[in-house]
Amino acid sequence: MASVELRGVRKAYGKLTVADGIDLKIEHGELVCLLGPSGCGKTTTLRLIAGFIVPDAGEIIVGDRRLSSGGQALPPEKRNMSMIFQSYALWPHMTVADNVAYGLKLRRLPKADIARKVASMLAVAKLEKLADRFPGELSGGQQQRVALARALAVEPETLLLDEPLSNLDTNLREEMRFEIRRLHDEFRYTTVYVTHDQLEAMTTADRIVVMNAGRIEQIGSPEDIFLRPLTEFTARFIGGTNILRGAASGHTIHCGRLAIQWSQGQTDGQAQAAISIRPHEIELHPTPSPGENTFPGRVLRHTYIGAQRDYLIELDPETHIRVVTRLDQHYAPGDTVGVHLPIQHCRALAR
């Protein structure tokens, strides 16, 4: 295993900068997710690490080896990395066992060692009973496990995954998230995992790197990223939130006719500020009552979403918020309710 470090890595295509001074260190045995919307630079960053793309500036260091440095890069086949793509890229004419053995045969290992490693990987990936099947005879989840087993069999220094679950249906995706985490915990390879799915990142990652427009927006554990977003982009992208903007005065923002206090985070020190509060952190009461950060509201929309109810509430003509409640809190459109924004959950954000 080896650490992976990016120092000031930059890549542009003409006037379009897709990686804009990326600084990131991934420790030995850590699973880090690069998370962000399409076009944010996460896949480009992964391909830079893999050696498929040469950086215009900056360095990529793995362990004690400098693999890329402004305008030069060691080719992918000399990096001791394994990469798993969205399409799995399994050989259709080979059995499961032969696919897993493929990289080992290219390295010309003794037949006995290949047989031992293949048997071990098939057992770990729960594929023993499928060893003689061909990829076309497998489900999507089974094919994904074969791709993982093939990648891990060669004992790479670094494992790279490019949106590996995007082709699976919802139930299989959920199952494979935990499977990837289980295999990582067993082998502890340094892993870089690209996804646009926040739940995927929250489930699998030791740390999440939130990316936006070619830059790193925030780095932290899943809990840090969700509970303590630093910017509006991170707050909106991770979990969804209500952003309330207004004139700043100490730990209060004046949003229309509302004076809302906050206690977490920090502003940019500008005259205008923004705070975030998650829909599930807001409390609804049957009748409005006076209190700190408590306001009357009118229900505009009610949606039943299985285990919860989802409301859109009007606090004033210019301020609407989304609230998620328990099933037993049932209000109809047009109802007047009390809306409490707990101060401890109101977080100031940087722009």
- Please write the tens of the pLDDT for every residue from 108-129: 889 999 999 899 888 888 889 9
Which of 227, 262, 283 lies at the terminal end of a domain, its last residue? 227
> Rounded to whole angstroms, what are the CA distances from 41 to 117, 198, 279?
36, 16, 29
Contact 263, 344 (CB under 8 A): yes
Token pair in block for residue 185: 């915990």
Same domain assignment for residues 299 and 340: yes
**CA distances, 111 to each of 106, 131, 278, 281 (Å):** 12, 17, 57, 59
Structural domain of 288: 241-349
3-17 residue pLDDT tens: 999 999 999 999 999
List the structure tokens of 275: 């705070």
* CATH code for position 37: 3.40.50.300
Q: Are residues 204 and 340 in the same domain?
A: no
111 and 21, same domain (yes or no): yes
- Whether residues 66 and 124 share a domain: the answer is yes
Do 255 and 108 belong to one domain? no
pLDDT of residue 275: 92
Q: Would you state the pLDDT for residue 1? A: 59
Q: Is 210 in the same domain as 251? A: no
Residue 259: CATH number of its domain: 2.40.50.140
Residue 37's CB is within 10 A of a number of other CB atoms, namely: 12
CA distance 320 to 111: 67
pLDDT value at residue 97: 93
pLDDT of residue 267: 74
Q: How high is the pLDDT of residue 145?
A: 85
Domain limit, last residue, from 193, 227, 261: 227
Same domain membership, residue 80 and residue 24: yes
Please give the tally of structural domains in the chain: 2
d(CA 205, CA 227): 16
Shared domain check, 133 and 246: no
Q: Do 215 and 81 share a structural domain? A: yes
3-class state of residue 28 by DSSP = coil
Averages of pLDDT over runs of 10 residues in the chain (351 residues) are: 91 94 95 94 95 95 91 89 84 92 89 90 87 90 86 88 83 83 88 93 95 95 92 89 90 88 81 90 91 94 94 93 95 96 92 68
Residue 279 lies in a domain: yes
Are both 283 and 172 inside the same structural domain? no
pLDDT at 70: 80
- The answer to whether residue 93 sits within a structural domain is yes
Q: Closest Cα partner for 279 from 303, 247, 263, 249? A: 303
**Do 284 and 223 sit in the same domain of this protein?**
no
- Tell me, yes or no, whether 85 and 109 share the same domain: yes
Using the structure block, give the residue that is written with the tokens 């490693």.
117
Asked if residue 123 belongs to a domain, the reply is: yes
Instruction: Evaluate whether residue 233 is within a structural domain.
Output: no
